[in-house]
Amino acid sequence: MTNYQSIIDTATAMERAIEAKGYSRADVEFTLNYTDTIGVYVRINYSIDNERKYETYAHSVNSTKTIDEFVTEIWDTIAALPHIEEARNNDFLAQLGKTIDRATELDLPLDYVTPLKAAFDAMTENLLADHRPAAEKEPTVKINLNEHDVPF
């Protein structure tokens, strides 16, 4: 990032990358700060079903990282964001888990808690399963290193 336009282009590209994952109202703000400690702030905002999420990053003027390395770390964070459906599933499971924990704390009858736990377990198992067609899955290769005829 060498000039003002490259900062705008980077922020715009980051917003588009977040929106490509299904999030709405993505906004990336770069703030230059002329203090003794923090030189650049980056704030990323986006929405999941009208709930705003915020992440803030700061680059110290004393940092050994370059600005480009700092921006690369932010890109890595954006790349690691789950797709919107996965984020919704994760949020729902977190809320369901809290509900089950609260029901257990309140010693609610098992007639209420057991079906919730069963649903939670089934949904968790389903989320962890790989649902891609077999052709898209990475092949599992097993090599017996004790065999001498294994080609390398």
20: phi then psi, degrees, rounded to nearest 5: -65, -20
Q: What average pLDDT does this structure show over 34-58?
A: 84
Can you tell me the distance from the alpha carbon of 77 to that of 64, in angstroms, rounded to the nearest whole number? Answer: 20
Write down the architecture of domain 4-81 according to CATH. 2-Layer Sandwich (3.30)
pTM of the model: 0.65
pLDDT for 96 equals 83
pLDDT for 12 equals 92
Is residue 59 within 8 A of residue 65, CB to CB? The reply is yes
pLDDT for 14 equals 93
- Out of 22-26, 117-121, 147-151, the most confident range is 22-26
Q: What average pLDDT does this structure show over 16-38?
A: 86
DSSP classification of residue 47: E
Residue 146 CA: distances (Å) to CA of 131, 140, 141 = 34, 18, 15
| Domain positions in the chain | 4-81, 85-136
152 compared with 132, residue with greater pLDDT: 132
Can you tell me the distance from the alpha carbon of 60 to that of 65, in angstroms, rounded to the nearest whole number? Answer: 9
Q: Tokens representing 124?
A: 């968790």
Q: How many CB atoms lie within 10 A of CB 42?
A: 22
pLDDT for 131 equals 61
Residue 5: which residues within 8 A CB-CB, separation 6 or more?
none
